[in-house]
Amino acid sequence: MLSSPDLLTKALVNAYKLYGYDGMINVFDPTLEAEACGCSIVWEGENSTPLIKNHPLSDIKNISEIDISTLERKGRFPVCLEATKRLKILIGREVAIIGVLTGPVTLASYLSGREIVMEIESEFERVAEILDFTSKVVLKICRTYCELNVDGIMVADEMLAKVTPVLLSKVSRYFKPIWNMTRFYNCFSIIWTRDCYDIFQCQNIMGLGADGAILGCYTPILQSGQGKCLGLAIPISVLCGKKEEIEEKISELLKSKPMGSFFLTTENDIPFDAPIDHIFQLVHNAKLKCSTQYDTSK
């Protein structure tokens, strides 16, 4: 599926027809940018995304050797871009299509093979050059998606949650060009990370400038959205548990009475072995409860 635009498009269109999402991402694969920048990947099985095998920026001197001028034509990006283009044509009037980017902090870790978060804390100037490079990569792909007229851009940076609140201000400069780009194209921006349990960390990540944020399953922060559109994240474990747990979790999230606009989503990509009827129930119950408790026309 990740190697064929025909299969990828068909799978996503059929998923939309089955479940009736309000918005859907094109591909959640954090190795796309890394592969296009020269990382080798290895496939462990049919039902798993590829893993990174080598790190071209293990030596920072190699930055000049990586050509990003034709990045969108390298690796599996042509597959992803073609599928995204077809999705906009086939179902783009019915559902919001969201392009996913790997964030600059996580991409820097993939390309260098280093504990980038720890080095941001101890030797920021040493890794700043790598972050400068990865931010250019992310911005280039962002522009490519925006030119395909996607409705939203989701910057998936799972390592961002590990950066201390104090040092988030240092990495904020690598995200601002992305938000400027999305606003230029009138495109909604979302920042996604995982396992963000600290309330101050959540507030600082929302303060990076995206229009919306998905911060994992931490709920107290939902009391104050700082004017952002919040993604209320349902734990993946719920989808693989009992059906009644799905309804209970949705009710729990909505009872938190989030201020401002919000949407329901999952904390991470859905496992391949998640029961189909559980996913259907999740979407159905979410729509039903939101329509009865909130004015969804907004």
Read off the pLDDT of residues 8-66 as tens digits, 9 standing for 90 and up: 999 999 999 998 889 999 999 989 999 999 999 998 877 777 899 899 998 878 898 89
Please, are residues 76 and 8 in contact by the beta-carbon 8 Å criterion? no
Local structure of residue 220 (DSSP, 8 states): G
- pLDDT tens per residue across span 249-296: 888 888 776 667 888 888 888 888 888 888 888 888 888 877 776 665
- The verdict on pTM exceeding 0.85 is yes
DSSP structure string for 47-77:
TS--EE---TTSSGGGGGG---TTGGGSTTH
User: CA-CA distance, 261 to 212, in Å (whole number)?
Assistant: 9
Q: Which domains does the chain have, with CATH numbers?
A: 5-215 (3.20.20.210)
Beta bridge partners of 191: 155, 213
User: CA-CA distance, 147 to 192, in Å (whole number)?
Assistant: 22
